[in-house]
């Protein structure tokens, strides 16, 4: 089990680095969007490539941060129902959810995205829009994002089993960071108060 926990820590570190780094893609998408709007309004010229780049950056942020979101225990769930159960029951719900819902879905997506990406790459697929970008890099993001999510799902399964067997302490004793902040008497976003 110690080898699996070491693998889990390595997967966690990888997705932590990627998740924090990809946050910059949001800023890049905003700058590209603003720059494209300014050039279009000021100089009356535009490029589909800039618009597609904005989509690619947003897609990269969404897809490549999904594994980080799972690692942080911040994926959407029905917390009202989930929170009614003991922490041990929550671990069972998470473990069974990862095993029977997350992992089969992720593996199915990887199975379908491999030929989807390879066909696009081999054909040098380009956008049908005038001046558009290559399509295969965006399709590779789908494959990479689901591969990361699969790795993180595997890591979460390892950690759930280790927690449930008493090998490690619960790395996230709260349902979410929001729940932890509420329990501590803090508001998750202090700046949002009037």
Decide: 18 and 68 in contact? Cβ < 8 Å.
yes
Q: Has residue 185 been placed in a domain?
A: no
Q: What does the block give as tokens for 21?
A: 């780094």
Judge whether 148 lies within some domain.
yes
- Run of H or E residues at 183: helix 177-183
**Domain presence at residue 64:** yes
Give just the sign of the alpha carbon dihedral 183, 184, 189, 190.
positive
DSSP string, 17-47: HHHHHHHHHHHHHHHHHHHHHHHHHHHS---
Q: How far apart (Å, rounded) are the C-alpha atoms in residues 114 and 140?
A: 9
Q: How many distinct structural domains can be found in the chain?
A: 1
pLDDT at 194: 45
| Residue 171 domain-assigned (yes or no) | no
Q: CA 95 to CA 159: how far, in whole Å?
A: 9
> For position 182, what pLDDT does the model report?
61
Residue whose token pair is 């001046």: 131
Owner of token pair 């202090």: 190
The answer to whether residue 175 sits within a structural domain is no
Residue 129's domain spans which residues? 2-162
Say if 186 falls within a structural domain: no
Low-confidence ranges of the chain (pLDDT < 70): 78, 174-194
Compute the Cα dihedral for 124, 136, 55, 60 and give only its sign: negative
Residue 194 lies in a domain: no
The answer to whether residue 189 is domain-embedded is: no
For the chain, count helices (H), then strands (E): 8, 0
Per-residue DSSP letter, 126:
B
pLDDT of residue 193: 45
DSSP 130: T
User: Model pTM?
Assistant: 0.83
């Amino acid at each position: 089990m110690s080898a699996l926990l070491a693998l889990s820590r390595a997967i966690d570190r990888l997705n932590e680095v990627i998740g924090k780094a990809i946050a910059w893609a949001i800023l890049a998408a905003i700058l590209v969007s603003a720059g494209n709007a300014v050039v279009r309004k000021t100089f009356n010229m535009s490029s589909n490539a800039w618009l597609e780049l904005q989509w690619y950056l947003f897609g990269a942020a969404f897809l490549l941060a999904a594994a980080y979101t799972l690692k942080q225990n911040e994926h959407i769930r029905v917390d009202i129902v989930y929170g009614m159960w003991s922490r041990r029951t929550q671990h069972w719900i998470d473990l069974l959810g990862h095993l029977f819902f997350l992992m089969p879905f992720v593996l199915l997506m990887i199975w379908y995205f491999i030929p989807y990406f390879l066909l696009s790459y081999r054909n040098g697929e380009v956008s049908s829009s005038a001046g558009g970008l290559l399509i295969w890099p965006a399709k590779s993001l789908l494959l990479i994002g689901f591969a990361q999510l699969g790795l993180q799902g595997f890591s979460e399964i390892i950690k759930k089993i280790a927690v449930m067997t008493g090998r490690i302490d619960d790395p996230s004793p709260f349902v979410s960071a929001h729940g932890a902040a509420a329990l501590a008497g803090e508001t998750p976003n202090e700046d949002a108060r009037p």
